Chains A and B, each alone.
Chain A
Amino acid sequence: MIGPSSSHTAGAARIGLAARHLLGQAVVHAQINLHGSFAATGKGHATDRALIAGLLGMGADDDRLKDSLEWAKDSSLSYEFCEVDLGEEAHPNSVSLQVKAADGSRLTLVAQSIGGGMIKISEIDGFETSIRGELDTLVLWNQDAPGYLAKITTLYECANLNIATIRLSRTSRGDAALTTIESDGALPPEALTLMSRLPDTRRLRSLPPHWPAISKS
């Protein structure tokens, strides 16, 4: 990794990169709210530069990380940092991110940097979740409907893939929901195509383990 702090720099870069992966396209604007120790020592620990680097698609060991604010200008990424209080219960290294793409797509993310560069995503678009990014991860924005999970898990079975964790959270019955599945291996593209064609699937993102860096295209 590129310094200075594994929690405040490497973890922060990974959180930024997760947001970039989940949005699925280049970020043009980011509102970044820092909580606790992230806010208190973020500047010295380069949390700001790391988050921006991640949002630009850079990995935690990218040499360009230290100059990411300059790179943001070149990539027309605008951003705003704020300090927030997410409450006593929140992990001291928490961040809440709102990112926007050029086509108007938006994504919100709440994540924690839990030490040694490891992270946990606790919320996506207001839905509670728990993603560590150490396994292949599928994120589905879906309509809460009977049998939806059965269809999805059947495709995992067809691909002979073992599911490690699965979680569905919804706002209310029959309303929008978010499903996250971590598995021991990646789904083949055919399975993803079938999933995206299910009438109750609104959107999906398949993330490889450890969120690889995204080269600028």
Chain B
Amino acid sequence: MNYDYNSAVELLALCEKHNASISTIALKREAVEQNVPEATLLQRMRDYYSEMRESVRRGLQIETTSPSGLSGGDARRLHAYSQSENPLFGARFARTIAYGFAVLEHNAQFGRIIATPTAGSAGIVPACLLSLEDDEGLSLEAAARALFTAAGVGIIIGKNASFSGARGGCQAEVGSASCMAAAAIVEAKGGTPQQAADAGAFALMNTLGLVCDPIGGFVEVPCVSRNGMFALHSFEAAVMSLADVRCVVPLDDVVIAMRDIGRRMPRALKETSEAGLAKTPTGLRYQSGKIVPDTRRP
């Protein structure tokens, strides 16, 4: 049986044909592609989720700054605030942001992380799933399934656009992660495959144009705070979709738009640190990260 697909339309058709969720189709597709039993793949995803949890746990403990001095300790601050007496929007709001920060802070200190889909966007999916685990009782099994939902949607982006910040800017990284997380949240909350795809479309659509201009070439500013903020953003997209708000532009078209914008985006704003935040007076102070150019060249 072939479960491969190239677009959201094809994925949704497979879901309909087999009366299955996105995670089921993604799991079956992977089992065929890799020629590995589904149970083995589910176990592997459970292991990845455990690694994600561990990266959050470690990140929340960080008290020191990263080698660049640009990050470190903020996940802890946010977590402490979430446990304070009357945190704005409730404890979960700050805690979810803290989780997103935690993974990226851990990453900036060369800790082990799971790229979902990239390292620079690795905080969003774990933050969303851990938030669901904390407050909605998401089981380990369901978290592994949710990761297949995320991966199932990610395949559409990977096949039709790119995850690379150097190719498509931050929209390709954080946009993709938020899209994948939004779809995963919807399925975990019992939404339909169409609702999951719409949540993904909303999330990605709202990140279009996001550039990659990291200070000093380090994956820290604006990446750390952006991962915290875009975890919540994924929930917003999921809420809209669960409320049956349909995205006017379907996911496939939003992916095309992301690729188009990525191609037109100037090179200086695609992970080269040659413009934007990297070239502000603050950014220039951290510019030493650049590889020394070849002096032998005329």
Contacts and interface: CB of A to CB of B under 8 A. Distances in A.
A86 interface: no
B294 A36 contact: no
Nearest to B115: A6
A117 B115 contact: yes
A36 B272 contact: yes
Given A1-B115, A10-B119, A43-B290, A65 B274 contact: no
Contacts of A55: none
Given A41-B272, A41-B273, A115-B172, A5 B167 contact: no
A201 B162 CA distance: 37
Given A92-B270, A115-B163, A115-B164, A3 B294 contact: no
Given A5-B120, A114-B167, A115-B172, A43 B294 contact: no
A6 B120 contact: yes
Interface string B275-298: 000000000000011111110110
A205 interface: no
Nearest to A40: B272
Contacts of B270: 37, 92
Contacts of A42: 217, 291
Interface in A1-19: 1-10
Contacts of A2: 110-113
A66 B112 CA distance: 11
Range of interface residues on chain A? 35 or more
Contacts of A114: 162, 164, 167
Contacts of B291: 34, 39-40, 42-43, 47-48, 81, 83
B219 A115 contact: no
Interface residues of B, number: 46
Contacts of A83: 291-294, 297
A144 B83 CA distance: 70
A6 B119 contact: yes
A142 interface: no
Interface string B105-130: 01111111111011110100000000
B218 interface: yes
A4 B292 CA distance: 20
Interface string A130-173: 00000000000000000000000000000000000000000000
B228 interface: no
A163 to B, nearest CB: 15
B35 interface: yes
A125 to B, nearest CB: 23
A7 B290 contact: no
Given A116-B115, A184-B35, A44 B110 contact: no
Interface in B182-198: none
Interface of B: 35, 68, 106-115, 117-120, 122, 158, 162-167, 172, 214, 216-220, 267, 270-274, 288-294, 296-297
5 contacts: A4-B107, A36-B166, A41-B217, A43-B291, A83-B293
Interface of A: 1-10, 34, 36-48, 61, 63, 65-66, 81-84, 91-93, 113-117, 184
